[in-house]
Structure 1
Amino acid sequence: MKLISINVSRKVLCLYKSKTVTTGIFKKPTQESILVTKTNLEGDEQADLKHHGGTDMAVYAYSYDHFSRWEEQLGRNEIKYGSFGENLTVEGLQEQEIFIGDRFRLGNTILEVSQPRIPCFKLNMALDNDLAVKILTNSFNSGVYFRVIEEGYIEKGDIFHKIASHPNSISIHSLFWALFDKGFSESQQILQMASRLIPLSQVWKDKAAKRLA
């Protein structure tokens, strides 16, 4: 996997469906080397710290491999880096191959996979399309949240080097599928396994427990 863009933004106020919304989803590419801390990237802000940011959702990555499908579905010629609110646009990221607890060295940081993304209405804002959340959810390609094990600097062109994995883990794709597809026959088994995974974020452990109940 290759880092092809680093994207950051400050919080802004904007008008959406006649309501004023504070958001940090409008990420823009930067060409600079960026410091990755335990809670975010230098120069980046999250507006809703209940659902974004914090140690379990410090860094969000989305796959460039999905862009062409989005362009087709939205009828656009080009979707720019950062359009999904991602900090890292990554070539070669496949949710089926990324597992909870996987650790990667990127630049001189170490990142650990903590959970899939749960899209909210702000994705509709970012892509200026009211179907964006539905499209992402139905694809089960959620992107990946990382916690930061070791702080450090990253830059465009860095390669993700997998250095560790967690035993008996679950892929990002399968976990997202299990939560959102009620007809998925393996949902209960996957969510039961997920609830026992130490590296899984508490938010997702709670969601798994609620669904199982």
Structure 2
Amino acid sequence: MSTVVSVNISKAKGVPKEPVEKVTAIKNYGLFGDAHAFKNSHRQISFLDFDEIMDFKNDLSFGSFAENITVSGLCNETIFLGSIIKIGNTIVKVTQIGKTCHNECNIKKLLGSCIMPKKGIFGVILKGGLIKPNMVIEVINGKDFYNR
């Protein structure tokens, strides 16, 4: 079973995100109060598995890689482009796995490296809702979701 470990936002781009008690996901926009929220963007929300963070370096805080949602048990091998991630009422469609870190990436400068290029999961918000720690995450094959 996959769960939300932490929800994280930042007021500026290029910096680690700070954990918050809860966030509101807004359809086709992103997380309320987050600098990366942008209408029609293909990366409105990001996920990173806590185990991947600990494997990289075990003294990092949630949001260190600028991930919005730190999760547990969400294995990259079970996520594909088009997969649906459901957290409570919130529905996210996976649009990208991994990303290119640019040379000026502040996270990479601070930590020496970054795992988001291989392990980050990005998506668009199809249906908004509240997200907070300890919520259960359901992953649905995109085709199965649309054929319900």
Q: TM-score by structure 2 length? A: 0.82
Match of 1:59 in 2: 45
Cα 1:36/1:136, change in 2 over 3 Å: closer
Match of 1:78 in 2: 59
Q: Deviations along 1:82-119, whole A, 9 cap, x unmatched?
A: 00110000101211110111112212111111111314
Q: Displacement of 1:154 after TM fit? A: 1.2
Alignment pair present for 1:102 and 2:83: yes
The 2-side partners of 1:112 and 1:46 are apart by 17
Cα 1:41/1:110, change in 2 over 3 Å: same
Bigger share in strand:
2
Structure 2, unmatched stretches of 5+, are: none
Q: Deviations along 1:19-54, whole A, 9 cap, x unmatched?
A: xxxx343200001x311012211111139x7xxx84
Number of aligned residue pairs: 139
Match of 1:144 in 2: 121
Q: Displacement of 1:161 after TM fit? A: 1.4
The 1-side partners of 2:80 and 2:69 are apart by 17
Alignment pair present for 1:93 and 2:77: no
The 2-side partners of 1:119 and 1:136 are apart by 8
Rg larger in 1 or in 2? Answer: 1
The 2-side partners of 1:65 and 1:162 are apart by 18
In the TM superposition, 1:200-211 aligns within 5 A as: none
CA contact (8 A) 2:19 2:63 kept: yes
Name which structure has the greater RCO, CA cutoff 8 Å, separation 6+.
2
CA contact (8 A) 2:30 2:124 kept: no
Bigger share in helix:
1
Identity of aligned residues (%): 26
Cα 1:164/1:96, change in 2 over 3 Å: closer
Alignment pair present for 1:153 and 2:130: yes
Letter in structure 1 aligned against 2:4: L
The 2-side partners of 1:157 and 1:114 are apart by 24
Of 27, 34, 37, the residue aligned with 2:17 is 27
Structure 1, unmatched stretches of 5+, are: 12-22, 72-76, 168-213
